[in-house]
Each structure stands twice: as structure tokens, then as C-alpha cells.
Amino acid sequence: MAEPVHRTGHPAGPDPVRTLRTLFAEVLGRAEVDAGDSFTGLGGDSIQAIQVVSRARAAGLVVSTRDVLRADSVSALAATARAQGRVGEEAGPATPPRRLGPLAPTPIMGWLAELGGPVDTYNQSLVLRTPPGFGAAAAERTVQALLDTHEMLRLRLPDGIGATGAEPVVPPAGSVAAADLLEHVDARGTAEEEFPALTRERMRAARRLLSPRDGHMLRAVLLDRGPGHQGRLALVIHHLVVDGVSWRILQDDLRSCWTALTEGREPVLEPAATPFAHWADLLRAEATSGRRTAEADRWAAALREAPQPLAGVRPPGGLDPESPENTLTLTLGPDVTGPLLTTAPGLVNGTVNDVLLTALALAVLVRRGAEGADGADEEGADEEGAVLIDVEGHGREDVTDGTDLSRTVGWFTTVFPVRLALGRPDLDEARAGGPAVGAALRLVKEELRAVPDKGIGFGLLRHLNSRTGPGLAARGIPQIGFNYLGRFPMGGDAPWDAAPGHDFALDDADEGLPMAHAVEVNAAAHEGPDGLTLSATWTWAGNALPGPWVHDLAREWFTMLRAVVTHAARPDAGGLTPSDVSLAQVSQADLDTFESQLGALL
């Protein structure tokens, strides 16, 4: 049997510091990383940390996502790393067996089924540059390696999505043939500028051929320009079996497969340490555990009546489906995005989500003020300046011992409500980047940090627990949905780089699928030749929100993001929050007073 393919060029050897410095630089798009640099200090987020874990494992080092995020330097992380297979060292947790057959539905699968519309072709897609000479035979062997390694890509739903009592089924490796799912397009003579349009045309056709009932969860299109030119490989995958982190895993796997083929080896990939089916079983057990049921009251409190409906509209029936007419995409340039995603989170020892959600909450308050609302409406809301948002997370949380999801392909997304109560901030001061922005950022950071295990419990209680689920379902959902997809390298011209002219990992919903929220924001950072940019796609239900209202909110959000960057440049910006200190019963006001007094002494 052929040996699994590993990434080359990063031998663990006796120097894990050098290996981790190289991996940090790769994942974060930096020319060099020093041993004293920390991952979060360089702007790394949790999704990128998962990439580091996966690549470190391939290089022979075992680290956890939590360790990557918490270590204050590369050297400190290297000290916690364990070399794989070192003689005389205790072995790590055994890989659970590849369990085939029925798959326990996960919370996000239940969420999708509840939307109540067509989802047979609900997908995400990725278009990559292929090396010259990557032809039909190489494409078939590569796609087959993906199918045989990642069992979720072979998933079947015999009774359809959302059927009562139906369970997805995982068939064995080899049961799905890549040749049946791959289209080879002879694109010799196609000009570079014609590629995006041709690729989109073939992807639309591939999308229509997705069929969960038949186990056709993936379609691939190879646009082959011959041995002397780069081509394109487009992957269209049903969203039930892929997410933003999965795409990064698959992109690395494609590179590894090509390396094997060029060396005359069969492309056999390393299996995931924790199979998706095993994770699904763990979630089902976790949903009824004492620590999760103890969260039910917290989530119920978060979902109490929103302060007021967005734009004053509450549709009497369900929300309209997505439509191109109700979609807006805006981009923030490198001059703002760079410090926004690197410097600003460090002001309060926070995360990128802290910054983005602070600005979004402030923007909503500005729009309310423009309509003459004061944050506490006639409907009896009991707090001022509260904004209720459904937040998506990557879902690969360390909630059970012995799991490693860094190479597991599937849909892990969590969705959970957060109530951001900002009181009555001075919005003019906030727009100018004054202290009001910093105060709001500290409040939001504390609210998000208080969410248990980054929100994974809400979906468990809402969709997998028959005692708590009905009560949470009766409280409805927030009108705003927010998802930060992380950072993606774009604009590169090397083989297996993302090709220009195509979205990366954005959902492509079936026509007629109702929206889950009145308005949804999907944001992603793109690393290109000119630096980081932030792209935000706004989608809204036409029967819930007027287009001009959403356009104004989108522009106001970017105004507030610029204000955060302005504030970050102030000498008095930043500061500790209660969760940063171990002292009990220390309030934000106590910390602010202490820092002010300390500053006066200095």
C-alpha cells in the first residue's frame, strides 16, 4: 500500500522552532517570523491557527489550536510541541476508527433543514490554478484521493435533506468514482481574460448535477489549456460537507497530490485524526450533558425580545429568498484593513470578531438614531443600546479531550446569538474615533469572551436536545446574521493558488431557499499583492428591509471600522478588561480608574 503523502520542506528534526517559524510565515503570508513573535500578535486568527496545526502535523509536530492561539511566542509554542512517532515518547490519542454507515445529524444540519426550502444544490466552490501538464488523468487520480480520504465528500442522503427520521449515510472509500464527477474541458486556445466567464459557465452546469440522494456531493471541472499553460480546476461541493476551514485542508491536499504525481507516486493522503462521524457522535452525547443543559437559561436570556425590529419591519410570514437584486458587496482598502485586523484587536487583547462586531453594533445604533429611535422602544425592551446578532463560528472547538479536527473535512459551522448592550454611547464621538469606540470595544470583547466554548452549546441545545430545543426555538432568531470567514490568500499566480475572478467559500443557495435572517453579512479578508483588503457581502430579504436602508447600514459599518483604526492610533487607546485579570469582582470602571491613575504617575 502506498504511504500517505506529507507536505515536504518542513522536517521537524531537532529544531521545532525553525519549523514553526516557517509555518507561521506560510499561513500568515509573511516573509519571515521571529522566534519571539506570537501568532495572535502577528494578526493570526483561530481559523489560521487550525491551518498551523494541520501543517505542523504533516511536518511531524503535534500542537493544539489552543496552544497556537495562547502561546506568547514561537519559542513558547515549540516548547509545548511533541514530535510524532518519537521513540520512547508516549503516543498521542489513537485515531478513532473510520465509522461508516448512518451519520448522526449535527446542529448545523438541523439548522439547514429548518429553513424549509430547496437545498439540493446549496454549495460552496473554489477555483484554483493548475500546473502546466495537469491533465484529465492527473485530475481524476487527485479527485479520487480526496474522495477516498475525506468520507464526508462521499455522503449520501437517501431520503433527502430534512426528511423525518432520515439519517445521512457514509459509504466506504472507493464507492464514489471521481470519473463520474469530473468534467474535462478542452480549453486550449482560451485567452486568460476569457477564463473567468468560461469557468463560471461550466460551474453553473456542475452545480445542477449535485445530488445528495445519489451521493454526488462534489463536482469537479478541469479546464485544460495543454501542457504549456496553467489551467483551472473548479470544485463545487455541497455545503453539507464543506466549510471555510475544509477548503484550506483541500487546497493543501491538492498541492500534496500534485507533488506525489510529479514524483511518480500514487496520491494517498493522510486521513483525519478525528473522523467527522466520530465528532457527530460526540456532539450528540454532549447535547444532553450537564454542562450544556446548564447553559439553556443563558441562551434564552440572549434571545429575549430584540430592542426593535430593523427598519421597523417585521414580515408577517417567512423571509424572502436571496436574490442578486438584494445583494451588495463593498471592499475596504489595505490602508484600513491592515491595522484593523492586526493592531486593533491587540488594543484590548481581543480578536478580529471583537472589532468587527463592535463596529457593526455601533452602525446599527446610528441607523436607529437616524430613524428617531433611542434604543428602548415602545415594545418594552429592558435595556438601551442593545443589538442582537446571530454569529457564525468555525465550530472546531476543543470541547472534548483527544480530538483533532485540523484535517477533518465537513460542515462544522456553529450559529449562536449574542446580545451586545452598549448603553448610550456618544455616536458622533465614536464615528470620529474617540474614546467611545474604545469603551464599546471593551464591552463587546467581554460579552463575546463570556460566551461558553465560543457558542457551540447553543446549537447542541437548540437542535440535538429534545428538552431544551422547543423552548429556544419558540424565541425565534436575531434579524442580523454575521460571519467572518477569515483571511484568504488571493492574487497569487503559482499552481494551486486561488484563481482571480471568483468568490472564495461564499454560500451559493438554491433558488427559493428562504433567508435565515433579515440581513446577513459575510466578510472575508483577502491577502493580495497590495496588502490586505476586507470584502463584505450584504444580503437581505426584500420583504423585511428596504435596499437603501441596508446600503446605509453597510456604509456606516465601514465608517465605524475606519473609526476603530483612527482610535487605535491614539496614545490612550486600549487597556485591560475584567477577563484579562484573575482578581475576582474587578469591574471595567475599576480597571479604567487604575490605568488612569497609573498613567498620571508615569
- The answer to whether residue 94 is domain-embedded is no
- The answer to whether residue 95 is domain-embedded is no
In terms of domains, do 395 and 331 share one? yes
Q: Model confidence at 581, in pLDDT bands (50, 70, 90)?
A: low
Q: Model confidence at 494, in pLDDT bands (50, 70, 90)?
A: very high
In terms of domains, do 140 and 249 share one? yes
Q: CATH number, domain at 40?
A: 1.10.1200.10
- The answer to whether residue 472 is domain-embedded is yes
| Residue span of the structural domain in which 38 resides | 16-83
In terms of domains, do 49 and 173 share one? no
Summarised one tens digit per residue, pLDDT across range 397-421 is: 988 888 899 999 999 999 999 999 9
The pLDDT of 570-597, averaged and rounded, is 63
Q: Which residues of 55-82 are buried (b: 16+ CB within 10 A; e: fewer)?
A: bbbbbbbbbbbebbbebebbbebbeebb
pLDDT of residue 195: 86
Query: What region does 487 belong to: left with phi over 0, alpha with psi -120 to 50, or beta?
Result: beta
Summarised one tens digit per residue, pLDDT across range 64-102 is: 887 888 788 888 888 888 776 433 333 344 556 666 788
Mean pLDDT of all residues belonging to the chain: 86
In terms of domains, do 189 and 309 share one? no
Could you identify the residue written with the cell 474535462? 184
pLDDT at residue 376 is higher than 50: no
In terms of domains, do 411 and 494 share one? yes
- The answer to whether residue 276 is domain-embedded is no
Query: What region does 600 belong to: left with phi over 0, alpha with psi -120 to 50, or beta?
Result: alpha
Q: CATH number, domain at 126?
A: 3.30.559.10
- The answer to whether residue 594 is domain-embedded is no
In terms of domains, do 78 and 105 share one? no
In terms of domains, do 514 and 367 share one? yes
Give the residue from 254, 271, 288 where a domain finishes. Answer: 271
CA distance 567 to 433: 4
In terms of domains, do 430 and 503 share one? yes
The pLDDT of 333-356, averaged and rounded, is 92
pLDDT of residue 30: 81
The CA distances from residue 387 to 318, 404, 439, 587, in Å, are: 22, 35, 16, 22
Q: Domain count of the chain?
A: 3
In terms of domains, do 106 and 78 share one? no
Summarised one tens digit per residue, pLDDT across range 264-280 is: 999 999 999 999 999 99
In terms of domains, do 417 and 537 share one? yes
Summarised one tens digit per residue, pLDDT across range 290-340 is: 999 999 999 999 998 765 678 767 676 789 999 999 999 999 999 999 999
Q: CATH number, domain at 323?
A: 3.30.559.30
All three cell numbers of 602: 508615569
pLDDT at residue 583 is higher than 70: no
- The answer to whether residue 11 is domain-embedded is no
- For residues 26, 530, 526, 399, the Cα torsion angle rounded to the nearest 10 degrees is 40
3-state SS assignment for residue 487: strand
In terms of domains, do 63 and 207 share one? no
- The answer to whether residue 128 is domain-embedded is yes
Summarised one tens digit per residue, pLDDT across range 419-439 is: 999 999 999 999 999 999 999
pLDDT of residue 97: 60
Q: Find the angle CA(589)-CA(430)-CA(439) to the nearest 5 degrees.
A: 15
Name the more confident of 176 and 25: 176
In terms of domains, do 424 and 394 share one? yes
- The answer to whether residue 112 is domain-embedded is yes
